[in-house]
A = this chain, B = another copy of it.
Amino acid sequence: MPATIRDVARASGVHISTVSRTFSAPHLVNPETRSRVLATAESLGYRPNRAARALITGRTHNVGLIVADIANPFFPPLIKAAESQARQRDYHIFVADTNEDATAEEELVLAMAKQVDGVLLCSPRMSNSLIEQCSREVPLVVINRLVTGLPSVVMDVGQGARDAIEHLAGLGHREIALLGGPRGSWTSREIRRSALLAARAAGADLTVLGPNPPTEDGGAAAADQVRRVGCTAVLAYNDLMAIGLLDELDSLGVRVPEEISVVGIDDIAPSRRTRPKLTTVATPTAAAGRAAVDMLLQHDNAPVARTARPGVGVGAVDGRRTTAQVTLQTELVIRDSTGPGPHLPADPGYAATAAPGPVASYVKE
């Protein structure tokens, strides 16, 4: 039986609305009264019930975060950053996992809708039109997808894929395979689009494989295919797949980077410990989490259209959300899983860059 606003009012000899003001509009209450109320509240262990408050203010001070797989090492840094940013602004965060299932996404958004002020939708697999539909139920910020009309945060994987392809082409690779990601992934399409363009520009052949599940197993399963297409370099949709591929190639006795070069995308923590260490495109996931929370809450400060009394107050404030789209830079991190290919020009400059060893150009975020 936690203390309510009424208990505090009684114990400090004021009306409940004075107690209410003490917490939600302190400047409207006499300093002396305020400190008295605060003192009794403290002694009773009173804390305003946010759910009750939300019922009338329309602000829950909660945020939803939907990801494909909590245990995928790509997400925890993003979740952590989002949680931290939210808490700093006194928001709590619901986390949900779709298990890579597109149909679970809509259901989760709808289930959360009434309890949150907005939802961060991470790497969605559902269609754009369904996303738009969801956004009519609850404010949405989309991460890792560009949806016109909706605020979104994406990493520039297009640039990243281009950098990766150019890196490989510069090393003398002309036959490159792209391990595509899961169906429905905007990031996967973007990588593909950009990689194809870059390969053409560099005079290299790009064979697209997939779609594949974005897991180690997915990468491992693609190893056979990779060998069959006769490429000398591979760009994977993400590090997890690249790591799986690395493992499987090792089991098959294929040497990396001597026989095949491998590049990942994301720069998750384990990628620094593979043998050879993985060359990859670092994506600023923590920054993305923070940015998404900021975008959501920025608009969340404006009072919501609510009328405590019928006939009073305005109609629906047509939330003029500036639907900003934020693109965060990526960075190619050259480690040891990429080396010279068959067409390496006799240019000592390239050879030096290609030499195995930590020639990393690395910038975090």
**Chain A interface (Cβ within 8 Å of chain B)?**
1-2, 45, 47, 49-52, 54-55, 60, 62, 69-71, 73, 75-77, 79-80, 83-84, 87, 92-97, 99, 110-115, 137, 243, 247, 269-270, 273-275, 305, 316
Contact = CB atoms under 8 A, between A and B. Distances in A.
B80 A97 contact: yes
A76 B80 contact: no
Contact of A51 (B1, B51, B84): B51
User: Looking at A52, A76, A305, which has the most chain B CB atoms within 10 Å of its CB?
Assistant: A76
Given A49-B114, A92-B94, A114-B47, A80 B73 contact: no
Given A2-B137, A84-B97, A50 B273 contact: no
Copies of this chain assembled into the complex:
2
Contacts of A270: 269-270, 273
A111 B96 CA distance: 20
B69 A97 contact: no
A125 to B, nearest CB: 17
Contacts of A137: 2, 45
Contact of A93 (B47, B94, B110, B114): B94
A71 B60 contact: no
Given A47-B114, A55-B55, A94-B94, 15 more contacts: A51-B60, A51-B114, A62-B94, A62-B115, A71-B76, A76-B76, A83-B97, A84-B97, A84-B99, A87-B96, A92-B115, A93-B94, A94-B95, A247-B273, A270-B270
A47 B107 CA distance: 12
A152 to B, nearest CB: 23
A179 to B, nearest CB: 19
22 contacts: A1-B316, A47-B111, A47-B114, A49-B55, A51-B60, A51-B114, A62-B94, A70-B76, A70-B80, A71-B80, A73-B73, A73-B76, A73-B269, A75-B76, A76-B76, A80-B97, A84-B99, A92-B111, A94-B95, A95-B95, A273-B274, A275-B275
